């Protein structure tokens, strides 16, 4: 069952959609772009990614249920976490250059968002009318902050918006804390929701890593094709073995190493990847020495 907070969010979204279609100027500016936007969002490769993410979330949820960490009452939390954490992190995993950076980002966001979803969304919502007001205020000042950040001369406006949003957040934290003491929740259900919020993203860390690694490998293959030196399956295998499935090494396999496509067979590919690792190590040593001398 949806809380007043979630109903308020749905009402605001619905009102915004209706306003877009009813206001002629907005309709003329937005509607013509909807079809290409939807077409791009549901391109076959992206649909495959959506289905893969869904399958991984279902698998993780089934494991959580088997160990008593999930129950049907958490379905809403599962859907929210999937769309607000899992799906964005899947696409962001393509941009990380090391596994450590990916892990640290995931842990930080998981600890923050899981606690936020458990404490903020379900524990102590305001009355529906106040929820709509609070969310509209947050949207307004959040958008104003984003706009003010684009120009240095608008920095005072940005600081003012940040203060307003901080005060709003403080109010909600205080309100939630007071309500928790006045009307304690079912603590077993509360902590189950909290721990599942940790479990779902963290259990998918290997998936994020492999997805990011696959995306970077695909980028290397595309670059090789652009240079007119496409990688054969044997050379792709050499790339995977030669980088030792380390995201950090693969991120350093830049265009300067495009000669891999000239090699023939797995043995030559592995020899080239060995020289690649040696070159990376040499360059890192030189950078370390240069940094130490400049310091």
Look at residue 38 and tell me whether its pLDDT is greater than 60. yes
SS3 content of the chain, % helix, strand, coil (to 5): 85, 0, 15
- pLDDT at site 124: 75
pLDDT band with cut points at 50, 70 and 90 for residue 1? low
Look at residue 128 and tell me whether its pLDDT is greater than 80. yes
Query: Mean per-residue pLDDT for 9-22?
Result: 86
Work out whether the CA dihedral 205, 211, 213, 219 comes out positive or negative. negative
- What is this structure's pTM? 0.77
pLDDT band with cut points at 50, 70 and 90 for residue 293? low
Query: Mean per-residue pLDDT for 2-12?
Result: 84
- DSSP string covering 162-196, please? HHHHHHHHHHHHHHHHHHHHHS---HHHHHHHHHH
pLDDT band with cut points at 50, 70 and 90 for residue 175? confident
Look at residue 23 and tell me whether its pLDDT is greater than 70. yes
Look at residue 121 and tell me whether its pLDDT is greater than 80. no
Query: Mean per-residue pLDDT for 263-291?
Result: 89
Distance from chain centroid for Cα 244? 25
CA-based end-to-end distance of the chain: 60
Q: What is the pLDDT of residues 64-76, one digit of tens each?
A: 999 988 988 888 8
């Amino acid at each position: 069952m949806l809380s007043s907070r979630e109903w308020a969010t749905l009402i605001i979204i619905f009102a915004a959609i209706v306003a877009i279609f009813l206001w002629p100027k907005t309709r003329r500016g937005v509607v013509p772009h909807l079809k290409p936007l939807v077409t791009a969002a549901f391109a076959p490769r992206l649909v495959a990614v959506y289905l893969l993410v869904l399958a991984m979330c279902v698998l993780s949820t089934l494991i959580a249920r088997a160990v008593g960490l999930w129950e049907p009452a958490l379905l809403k939390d599962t859907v929210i976490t999937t769309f607000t954490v899992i799906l964005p992190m899947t696409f962001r995993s393509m941009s990380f250059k090391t596994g450590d950076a990916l892990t640290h980002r995931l842990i930080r966001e998981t600890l923050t968002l899981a606690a936020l979803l458990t404490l903020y969304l379900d524990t102590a919502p305001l009355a529906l009318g106040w929820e709509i007001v609070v969310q509209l205020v947050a949207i307004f000042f959040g958008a104003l902050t984003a706009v003010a950040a684009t120009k240095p001369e608008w920095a005072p406006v940005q600081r003012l918006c940040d203060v307003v949003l901080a005060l709003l957040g403080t109010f909600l934290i205080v309100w939630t804390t007071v309500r928790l003491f006045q009307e304690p929740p079912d603590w077993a259900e509360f902590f189950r929701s909290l721990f599942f919020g940790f479990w779902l993203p963290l259990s998918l860390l290997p998936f994020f890593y492999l997805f990011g690694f696959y995306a970077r490998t695909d980028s290397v293959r595309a670059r090789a094709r652009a240079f007119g030196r496409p990688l054969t399956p044997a050379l792709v295998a050499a790339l995977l073995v030669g980088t030792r499935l380390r995201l950090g090494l693969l991120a350093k396999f830049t265009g300067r190493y495009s000669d891999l496509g000239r090699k023939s067979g797995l043995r030559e590919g592995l020899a080239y990847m060995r020289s690649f690792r040696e070159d990376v190590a040499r360059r890192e040593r030189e950078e370390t020495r240069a940094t130490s001398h400049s310091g």
